[in-house]
Structure 1
Amino acid sequence: MTTVLITGGAGYIGSQVVLALQDSGCHPVVLDNLSTGFQEAVPAGVTFVRGDAGDAALVEAILTRTGACAVMHFAALMVAPESVREPLRYWQNNLGATIGLLEGMVAARVRLLVLSSTAAVYGIPDTLPVGEDAVCRPINPYGSSKLAAERMVAEAAAAHAARYVTLRYFNVAGADPAGRTGQRRAGATHLIKVACEAALGQRMAVDIHGSDYATSDGTGVRDYVHVADLASAHVAALHHLLGGGESLTLNCGYGRGHSVREVLTAVGRAAGRPVPWRVAPRRPGDPPAVVARAENVRQRLQWQPQYDSLDRIAADALGWERRMMERDGSGLAAAGG
Structure 2
Amino acid sequence: MPMKVLITGGAGFIGSTVASAFVERGVTPVVLDSLVTGRQEFTDGKIFYQGDIGDGALIDGIFRDHPDIAVTVHCAALIVVPESMADPQRYYRVNLAKTLELAGHLVRNRCDRMIFASTAGMYRPEADLSVTETSALEPQNPYTRSKMMAELMLEDLSAAYGLRVISLRYLNPIGADPRMRTGLQHSRPSHALGKMIQSYEQGVPFRITGVGWETRDGTAIRDYIHVWDIARAFYEAASRFDAILPPVQAAGRQRGYQVINLGTGDGTTVRELVDAFREVVGDGFQAEEALPAPATWSARSSIRPRRASCSAGGPSTPSRRRSGTRSSGRPAAASWTWPDPDPHDPAPTGPPARAVRSFRPNQAGRTERAGRVTPPHPSEATSRAHA
> Is the contact made by 2:174 and 2:335 (CA closer than 8 Å) also made in structure 1?
yes
Cα-Cα RMSD: 3.0
Q: CA deviation at 1:55?
A: 2.4
Q: In structure 1, what is the equivalent of residue 82 of structure 2?
A: 81
User: In structure 1, how many angstroms separate the alpha carbons of the residues matched to 2:110 and 2:205?
Assistant: 50
SS of the equivalent of 2:194 reads: helix
SS of the equivalent of 2:30 reads: strand
| Higher RCO (C-alpha under 8 Å, 6+ residues apart) | 2
User: In structure 2, how many angstroms separate the alpha carbons of the residues matched to 1:265 and 1:181?
Assistant: 25
Q: In structure 1, what is the equivalent of residue 121 of structure 2?
A: 120
Asked whether 1:319 is paired with 2:320, we answer no
Listed as ranges, the matches of 1:19-98 within 5 Å are 19-44=20-45, 46-67=46-67, 68-98=69-99
Deviations 1:182-236 (A, max 9, x none): 113123323323322433x15756565x527844366542111111111000000
SS of the equivalent of 2:333 reads: helix
Aligned residues: 328
SS of the equivalent of 1:132 reads: coil
Amino acid of the residue matched to residue 260 of structure 2? L
Percent identity over the alignment? 34
User: In structure 2, how many angstroms separate the alpha carbons of the residues matched to 1:308 and 1:29?
Assistant: 34
Listed as ranges, the matches of 1:1-337 within 5 Å are 1-44=2-45, 46-67=46-67, 68-199=69-200, 201=201, 204=204, 206=206, 210-211=209-210, 214-216=213-215, 219-243=219-243, 245-246=245-246, 247-272=257-282, 273-276=284-287, 279=290, 282=293, 287-303=298-314, 309-321=327-339, 324=340, 331-333=347-349
User: In structure 2, how many angstroms separate the alpha carbons of the residues matched to 1:280 and 1:181?
Assistant: 36
User: In structure 2, how many angstroms separate the alpha carbons of the residues matched to 1:218 and 1:281?
Assistant: 12
User: In structure 2, how many angstroms separate the alpha carbons of the residues matched to 1:112 and 1:147?
Assistant: 19
Amino acid of the residue matched to residue 270 of structure 1? V
Q: CA deviation at 1:82?
A: 2.9
TM-score, normalised via structure 1 length: 0.86
Q: CA deviation at 1:312?
A: 1.6
SS of the equivalent of 1:249 reads: strand
User: In structure 1, how many angstroms separate the alpha carbons of the residues matched to 2:218 and 2:227?
Assistant: 26
SS of the equivalent of 1:29 reads: strand
Q: In structure 1, what is the equivalent of residue 383 of structure 2?
A: none
SS of the equivalent of 1:148 reads: helix
Q: CA deviation at 1:292?
A: 0.7
Q: CA deviation at 1:11?
A: 0.6
Instruction: Tell me: CA distance 1:329–1:146, structure 2 relative to 1, closer, same or farther (3 Å).
Output: closer
User: In structure 2, how many angstroms separate the alpha carbons of the residues matched to 1:277 and 1:112?
Assistant: 48
SS of the equivalent of 2:265 reads: coil
> Is the contact made by 2:124 and 2:135 (CA closer than 8 Å) also made in structure 1?
no
My pick for the range that moved more, 59-68 or 92-101, is: 59-68
Amino acid of the residue matched to residue 40 of structure 1? E
My pick for the range that moved more, 48-57 or 166-175, is: 48-57
SS of the equivalent of 1:166 reads: strand
User: In structure 2, how many angstroms separate the alpha carbons of the residues matched to 1:155 and 1:164?
Assistant: 10
User: In structure 2, how many angstroms separate the alpha carbons of the residues matched to 1:277 and 1:41?
Assistant: 37
Amino acid of the residue matched to residue 211 of structure 1? G
SS of the equivalent of 1:290 reads: coil
SS of the equivalent of 2:189 reads: coil
User: In structure 2, how many angstroms separate the alpha carbons of the residues matched to 1:87 and 1:283?
Assistant: 23
Q: CA deviation at 1:135?
A: 0.6
Q: CA deviation at 1:245?
A: 3.2
TM-score, normalised via structure 2 length: 0.76
Deviations 1:130-187 (A, max 9, x none): 1100011111111111111111111111111121211001211111122222113123
User: In structure 2, how many angstroms separate the alpha carbons of the residues matched to 1:35 and 1:279?
Assistant: 37
User: In structure 2, how many angstroms separate the alpha carbons of the residues matched to 1:93 and 1:125?
Assistant: 30
User: In structure 2, how many angstroms separate the alpha carbons of the residues matched to 1:283 and 1:58?
Assistant: 46
> Is the contact made by 2:178 and 2:228 (CA closer than 8 Å) also made in structure 1?
yes
User: In structure 2, how many angstroms separate the alpha carbons of the residues matched to 1:263 and 1:52?
Assistant: 38
> Is the contact made by 1:55 and 1:97 (CA closer than 8 Å) also made in structure 2?
no
Instruction: Tell me: CA distance 1:202–1:238, structure 2 relative to 1, closer, same or farther (3 Å).
Output: farther
SS of the equivalent of 1:195 reads: helix
My pick for the range that moved more, 62-71 or 143-152, is: 62-71
> Is the contact made by 1:7 and 1:30 (CA closer than 8 Å) also made in structure 2?
yes
Unaligned runs of 5+ in 1: none
Larger radius of gyration: 2
User: In structure 2, how many angstroms separate the alpha carbons of the residues matched to 1:278 and 1:320?
Assistant: 28
Q: CA deviation at 1:269?
A: 1.9
Instruction: Tell me: CA distance 1:300–1:259, structure 2 relative to 1, closer, same or farther (3 Å).
Output: same
Give the helix-richer structure, 1 or 2.
1
